[in-house]
Every structure is written in structure tokens, then in C-alpha cells.
């Protein structure tokens, strides 16, 4: 992995080359509140954005609060969210999430990682995304793009997104947590693509571990 000074330099360059947080950034998939952000994030697992959007739109036509959601049985929820895939499992998780939210938190979504991850269906990535977009907490949420970019560059050395998130939390400079997620995800979408990374135009290619053979 890159050393501390190199990690700092990577984030400094990304802060200059990539767009950061935008003022109109909303909850996951554009949802307006913490509850619907959590549900949308749960539905997005192994689902294309357009399929997640279709599923959330159909589900929130039926219910928009935990109490209303629990009035729906699993088959009804599963039918609504079918475009997102894994609909039976996700329907069970949604009902369990709503029940736990009412029983433990009085219908209020917790605003801490620990509180969110204690709820059914909410993992590290989903918790951090909700914290970042909905509650405005400075954290680097790790999705597919961020996981790929960080391990290619050498910011982290991890096989899972959760482990990448842990390493980033320990290694990234404090000042980078506010917008680091945005810089990394844009690098992954624009330059460090999964199948055809465009190393020559990357702002950190002289530091990147993945690009090292190209410099030899």
C-alpha cells in the first residue's frame, strides 16, 4: 500500500481534479428522508440503478413509513420490488427493518453507523451512504467504484468493501472525509473504469500501484 504521505498526495490531487459534493445531493437514489433512503439502499444491492428506481417507485406508492410498510405482507412487498431482484429476501429484510425501527427507535432512523448497522438489512456500505447523503456525516462510503479504485491505487489492500472502508477510515486524512467519497467515485466512473482504466489521463497515475507496470 501507499505510505501516509502518498495517501495524502492522492487525495490532494483528487480534490483538485474531481468534482466534490454538490449542494443538491440527496439521499440514496434521490429519496427525501432517512427511512426511504435506507429502503432504497437495501433495494439497490445487486441491482441496476434503473431497476432499483422502478422498485422504489412501486413500493413507495404503497407505503412510505415503517408503520404503513408493516401493514403490507411479504408477497405484496416482494411483488412491488421485483425489478430489483432478490425480492423475497429483500421483502423479509424490509419488514424486519421496519419492525426493529419501531420497536427500538420509536420510528426514528438512527444517525450513527452503529445504530444503523444494528438494524436488519443494513450493512456498512448502506449505513455509510445514508450517513453521508442523508445526515451529512463526513464518511467515505465504499461502493463498487470506490472499492475498485482504492485497491488499484494502493490506498487500501482489501478483498471486501467493508474491509476497504475500515482501512480508509484509518488511512485517509481527516480533511478528505467530507468529499472523499465523491472524488473517488467520480474517478472510478470517469477514469479508473472496471474494464478499461484510462491510466494515461489519471491524475494519480505516477503514484498508482496498478499503473506501476506501465511506467516501467
Q: Domains of the chain: which residue ranges?
A: 4-21+140-215, 28-133
pTM of the predicted protein model: 0.86
Q: Which of 29, 90, 125, 128 is catalytic?
A: 125
As its CATH architecture, domain 4-21+140-215 has: Orthogonal Bundle (1.10)
71 included as an active-site residue: no
14-64 pLDDT per residue, tens: 999 998 765 544 445 467 789 999 999 999 999 998 999 999 999 999 999
DSSP 110: -
| Lowest-confidence segment of 31-35, 122-126, 162-166 by average pLDDT | 31-35
Q: Are 188 and 148 in contact (CB under 8 A)?
A: yes
Rounded to an integer, the average pLDDT of 151-158 is: 97
Three-state secondary structure call for residue 82 = helix
193 included as an active-site residue: no
Question: Higher-confidence residue: 134 or 162?
Answer: 162
C-alpha grid cell, residue 162: 467493508
66-116 pLDDT per residue, tens: 999 999 999 999 999 999 999 999 999 999 999 999 999 999 999 999 999
Q: Please give the pLDDT value at position 25.
A: 44
Query: Could you give the CA distance from residue 191 to residue 141 in angstroms, rounded to a whole number?
Result: 19
Nearest to 169 by CA among 106, 104, 124, 202: 124
Residue 161 CB coordination number (10 Å): 21
Fold for 28-133, please state it: Endonuclease III; domain 1 (1.10.340)
Alpha-carbon torsion 56, 69, 89, 109, what sign?
positive
Rg (CA), the chain: 19
Residue with cell 427507535: 105
CA distances from 38 to 43, 85, 188 (A): 9, 17, 24
Q: Which of 82, 111, 138, 143 is catalytic?
A: 143
Amino acid at each position: 500500500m501507499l505510505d501516509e504521505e502518498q495517501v495524502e498526495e492522492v487525495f490532494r490531487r483528487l480534490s483538485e481534479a474531481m468534482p466534490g459534493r454538490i449542494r443538491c445531493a440527496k439521499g440514496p437514489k434521490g429519496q427525501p428522508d432517512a427511512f426511504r433512503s435506507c429502503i432504497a439502499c437495501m433495494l439497490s444491492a445487486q441491482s441496476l440503478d434503473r431497476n432499483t428506481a422502478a422498485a422504489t417507485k412501486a413500493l413507495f406508492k404503497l407505503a412510505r413509513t415503517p408503520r404503513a410498510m408493516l401493514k403490507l405482507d411479504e408477497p405484496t412487498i416482494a411483488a412491488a420490488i421485483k425489478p430489483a431482484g432478490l425480492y423475497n429476501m429483500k421483502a423479509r429484510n424490509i419488514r424486519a427493518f421496519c419492525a426493529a425501527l419501531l420497536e427500538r427507535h420509536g420510528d426514528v432512523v438512527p444517525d450513527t453507523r452503529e445504530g444503523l448497522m444494528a438494524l436488519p438489512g443494513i450493512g456498512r456500505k448502506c449505513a455509510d451512504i445514508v450517513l453521508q447523503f442523508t445526515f451529512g456525516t463526513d464518511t467515505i462510503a465504499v461502493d463498487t467504484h470506490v472499492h475498485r479504485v482504492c485497491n488499484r491505487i494502493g490506498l487500501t489492500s482489501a478483498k471486501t468493501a467493508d474491509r476497504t472502508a475500515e482501512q480508509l477510515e484509518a488511512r485517509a486524512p481527516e480533511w478528505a472525509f467530507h468529499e472523499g467519497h465523491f472524488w473517488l467515485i467520480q474517478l472510478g466512473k470517469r477514469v479508473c473504469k472496471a474494464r478499461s482504466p484510462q491510466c494515461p489521463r489519471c491524475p494519480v497515475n505516477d503514484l498508482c500501484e496498478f499503473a506501476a507496470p506501465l511506467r516501467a
